[in-house]
Chains A and B, each alone.
Chain A
């Protein structure tokens, strides 16, 4: 059993195919806290106290976002800048997040071939995610294998997207029920919908 909080950040909801559908399903899952960051802070005035209290109440923190310039959308970055204060998340006496886990749920426009050393992005996805990985590290949190959808712009709604969303719901439900091992990701490890959904067949 784990308490999950999903921070969902997408400033262009109207045009979203992947994330909006994921968010809709995820927010329906019982027993998890779902935060639409851009809805809660449309004017970017993040309530730091409130966020820190929320973090304390949960075990697994999920960032769900579309990859924008190899990074998070700006509000989620602002959230990190403000909420992960020294003395709270790191630094002297800053161990409030120790032992919790961070899961990234990312959609990327580029394909999985593109995110290789030979591909046109020239680096793997995990290389781009290094800052987030080390953020978790500095806060003494585990960094779970990110749940990634590549080629999000071209994904077919009825098949690929649906598959990815089903996998997302399954993943969150499993974590909630304590049926997913919360261990640090290995070197280039990612999770995909197929990984999760094949688990459920066991």
Chain B
């Protein structure tokens, strides 16, 4: 237990200190984590920590990340990407593999090893690149989308690669392996499975489960297809009832649990049938991209993804073998830079073929120039399958890690040197990506629902967030796009796009919740105007003190209208009743404003002397109103339509006579 706590503490401290510093210096979080890893690596060594096995665990962050990426990507968009996905991705993997293989053969490696190296190094780092693209808001640019296509293709390509690599096994290494217990149960399916625990030298692969092991090919294929079908159908038909069921408990943490269960379950299923868990969760994400639970899932999973990826980057930093590096400094650095240059060249050539313009071309060319975490996986797998000898693999591992370490530098190069030259094209792109609802309506009950209908009717895009499953059901039947979740959660309101929203309408129930949401948004997004629902007069003061200007009392208007109807029923002329209603509302608003100015949320009302004084004077005036003395409330003085008096008429005549000749 203490071991675990100590370890967790070391990792957390490293991350918490290094990342803010790196971000402050404009280096991005990834580099921060990597450096943190390097810094703590001696400490980890003294503690005897198995960094690699932690890394395999942390790779689950990649799985979560792809789930989140899927959530952002509607099936239609994915289908539209198919040409890029296959074309760009296929050519990148193919081209890079062949070139790297050529270089390796020139350096004297046999072709089997060279091909394996090519495959390992062709892959890029989904974790680093997506994290960085998201962080810098480049995900939706053309370059970002192309990069994503390639990464997705690579993640899928890992599966056939894992099937193919054992065929390259070298007989000499084979012999060696049987001595040490290598390779016995090394099977594509397990080695790439969820935990990636297939570390070299452990040889305990037989322990993992598989549904397709030992089945004839067609049965295995059938089960595999069945599993994918289950993910898609489950996503479409099961999540809704499931989440509604969970909503009945009304416990927030249950949603987090359910979301985790969901992702882990899919990853597990994919592993059992020998598919990439990243691919499976990605698919599930795409299926759920249109669902109203999307934001909820997003904000539930995101913290886990962040932490696991952070851990993953730290382990990459910590796993760098400095002894080996310093021993072969020149050759390893040379090969790392060579690899980056070569991958860049392939990418730039592709960018040219696929007509990526300006800054996008460079983003694509530099962003994907590193090797990636799947390279680690593949590498340990090749060693386990006696394709690449251990000492060579150690050097390759170093190259992969170093190239990842250098990636943030390439992004900085892009951001500081290259992108500024293409500012114009970038700006135009930015316009197109605004697709978040302009107006966020928090709460879709009796109050927010009407607001939403009205805004929709006048053609505004709204994003509705509500925590009540039955509201959402009804809305969905009208074809509205709505999201499930508790609007007072910062992460959810963030996911709903508060940063870019033109307006937030707080229409949820309950004083405390309303206050929490308004307070959070006023503090963190002061540029977003807020219209807030107030429960009562006192609540108006609270909201006013928070800097809210548009405050609507939830029942005030209907009460005034009721009063107006009463006046009409009592025989008052409808227009006079209308004027009385207006005057009353205006007067009441005036009192409210006066009182809000002297109200201080920190002092209880009973001790606020200014407040008490003010209310006394105002009360005295209004008392006369209450007791029916009409002149306080005199419509005629302000309201005009008074014919001139006799005196006035005389004055007019006198004036006329004076002017007459």
Contacts and interface: CB of A to CB of B under 8 A. Distances in A.
A91 B644 CA distance: 7
Interface stretch (B258-266, B596-604, B648-656): B648-656
Contacts, number: 40
Interface stretch (B90-98, B381-389, B634-642): B634-642
Interface residues of A, number: 16
Interface residues on B, range: 10 to 19
A48 B638 contact: yes
B606 interface: no
B645 A92 contact: yes
A66 B26 CA distance: 57
A90 B638 contact: no
Contact of B650 (A43, A83, A92, A94): A92
A80 to B, nearest CB: 10
Contact of B645 (A43, A81, A91): A91
B647 A85 contact: no
B629 interface: no
Nearest to A93: B651
Given A87-B648, A90-B652, A138-B652, A81 B638 contact: no
Interface string B308-342: 00000000000000000000000000000000000
A85 B582 contact: no
Given A45-B582, A45-B586, A138-B652, A92 B638 contact: no
Contacts of B639: 48, 82
Contacts of A81: 640-641
Interface in A77-101: 81-83, 85-87, 90-94
A201 interface: no
A183 interface: no
Nearest to B641: A81
Interface string A25-62: 00000000000000000010100110000000000000
Contacts of B644: 86, 90-91
A94 B640 contact: no
Contacts of A87: 648
Contacts of B645: 86, 91-92
Interface in B606-661: 638-642, 644-645, 647-652
Contacts of A83: 640
Which has the most chain B C-beta neighbours within 10 Å: A43, A45, A48, A93? A45
Closest 7 CB pairs of A and B: A91-B648, A82-B640, A92-B651, A86-B644, A86-B648, A92-B647, A92-B648
Given A82-B640, A86-B648, A87-B648, 13 more contacts: A43-B582, A45-B582, A82-B641, A85-B640, A86-B642, A86-B645, A90-B644, A90-B648, A90-B652, A91-B645, A92-B645, A92-B648, A94-B651
